[in-house]
Structure 1
């Protein structure tokens, strides 16, 4: 199997998070406006979504070209952004794009859970080279991630259905990434306890 090529971490982060930051900036700029495009009025949210779709397509393709590989989560996210973002723009309805994180998290919770039932730890297959751990560590981490994804799906539904559009954009842009960071930091003891020695150690 071909090893992914390494690129500058700042460039990688920019390509991964740049489209989301762009979405946030455009939304904040147009959030109280109606923009006329081809004879149809669109809210700032739809305008931001319209800009976000091609930018994330380009950034994902650049990541693939530079590294030679894409993670399954990146591929699924790209497909759902195009589909649900496209539906939001086409039908002029923000609800489709707001549902996207819920669907993404449910898909990954289901895939990881199904893998555990089949005694195949797909999280380990994806991350083992970057985070060597014993099988029991991967099993515990996978169970925790299934619960995390289910919790995030529920949280996303609550925020977009019960709070303002601005609250959802802030939650999507800053809240969800922060929760993921906190999750992995909180599991640092697990990584230490079940760490496997790297090659040559």
Structure 2
């Protein structure tokens, strides 16, 4: 359920774009949806995830620039900046001696420390690559192709990456029998 909640602004952006065929209206919808998402989190749980704050900041700044300057390039940069911020966050956390993925998944997986470190680096590389790929699609293909890539391509590639990681990590999983 949290996954769908996190995707709420992206799904509304996609829907608004396909209903109106106007990236500026879709951007305004995504901005409103992100503000609503953060407000809902705050009022319901009295806390907001760091990633939601980052998304809110990016959509306000880059979405706002898109609307004020009537330049879609700003909103097209948003996924890239978000991917790079997530990758940098993982890298800095690891450099500071923290294991964010271990904290997130450590109860489900028992891995040797070097494997946790390689897993973080794999995610850093994935996020860096996704940022570059987003820019390539955004500035090489049509607006419609980019909107489709933003929702389906990004999620599809992440799903494939997670499946690949699961296969690699499966050798470390214990058989419950």
The TM tier, using the shorter chain, reads 0.7 to 0.9
Matched, 1:25 2:12: no
Rounded to whole Å, the distance in 2 between the matches of 1:67 and 1:184 is 28
CA RMSD in angstroms, aligned pairs only: 2.3
Give the deviation of 1:114 after TM superposition: 2.6
TM-superposed CA distance for 1:130, in Å, is 5.8
| Corresponding residue of 2:87 | 109
Q: How does 1:1-201 map to 2 (within 5 A)?
A: 9=1, 12-31=2-21, 44-125=22-103, 127-128=104-105, 131-134=108-111, 135-195=113-173
Rg (Cα) greater in structure: 1
Q: Distance in 2 between matches of 1:130 and 1:99?
A: 35
Q: Give the TM-score, by structure 2 length.
A: 0.85
Instruction: For residues 87-108 of structure 1, give each alpha carbon's deviation from its aligned partner in whole angstroms, at most 9, with x where no partner exists.
Output: 1111111111100111111122
Q: Distance in 1 between matches of 2:87 and 2:53?
A: 16
1:22-65: CA deviation from partner (whole Å, max 9, x where unpaired): 2112111222xxxxxxxxxxxx1001101110112112332344
Structure 2 gap ranges (5+): none
Q: How many residues align?
A: 174
Distance 1:95 1:138 in 2: 36
Q: Matched residues in 2 for 1:30 and 1:129: separation?
A: 44
Can you give the 5+ residue segments of structure 1 that lack an aligned partner in the other structure?
Answer: 1-8, 32-43, 197-201
- CA deviations 1:65-111 (Å, max 9, x no partner) are 44454432222122111111111111111111100111111122222
Aligned to 1:35: none
Larger deviation, residues 59-68 vs 44-53: 59-68
Q: CA deviation at 1:179?
A: 1.4
Q: Is the 2:34–2:55 contact (alpha carbons within 8 Å) kept by the matching residues of 1?
A: no
Q: Distance in 1 between matches of 2:58 and 2:123?
A: 20
4+ runs of 1 displaced by more than 4 Å?
A: none
